[in-house]
A = this chain, B = another copy of it.
Amino acid sequence: MNNDYLKNQSSELLTVGMGGFFGAISRFLIAGYFAPESGTLVVNVLGSILLGILMYSSEYLGIVSPKTRMFFGIGFCGSLTTFSTFTVQTFQMQLVEAAFNILANIILTLAGIFTGRALVIYIMRRREGTGF
């Protein structure tokens, strides 16, 4: 391991960590506006829309740097959304409510990724002047 490798590695970790710092604070603030289970659903869907936009911007528009993906994708969106809080809330519910909570989170976050992707494709087509 040379110095450059270590410097690069620390810079990556710091980028991911700073994204996580702001992602966790945003989750805390946004989810705080809602009842606990709804708050978790809201941040999970919001983070999925944002990650969908980021992932497919990178794929279709090619404008996302590796550092942006680390900060925004792994750090911010990764920490804005949460699986552990979702699971502990589900664990404490009655069966029907738990099943509904699982379905709502799975279906609406998948719809979130789809929405992010659709937005990027829409922007790409507008750019190319072909309409939607």
B82 near A110 with CB under 8 A, answer no
A113 near B86 with CB under 8 A, answer no
Known: A20-B79, A24-B17, A28-B74. A106 touches B114 (CB 8 A): no
Q: How many A residues, CB 8 Å from partner?
A: 47
Give the residue of B55, B78, B112 whose beta carbon is less than 8 angstroms from that of A24: B78
Copies of chain A in the complex: 2
How far is A106 from B88 in the complex, measured between Cα atoms in Å? 11
- 25 A-B residue pairs with Cβ-Cβ distance under 8 Å, sorted by A, are A13-B29, A16-B24, A16-B28, A17-B22, A19-B24, A20-B21, A20-B23, A27-B78, A44-B84, A47-B83, A47-B84, A48-B87, A51-B87, A51-B88, A77-B84, A78-B79, A78-B84, A80-B84, A81-B83, A83-B83, A83-B86, A83-B105, A87-B106, A87-B112, A91-B114
Residues of A in contact with B (beta carbons under 8 Å apart): 12-13, 16-25, 27-29, 44, 47-48, 50-52, 55, 73-75, 77-88, 90-91, 102, 105-106, 109-110, 112-114
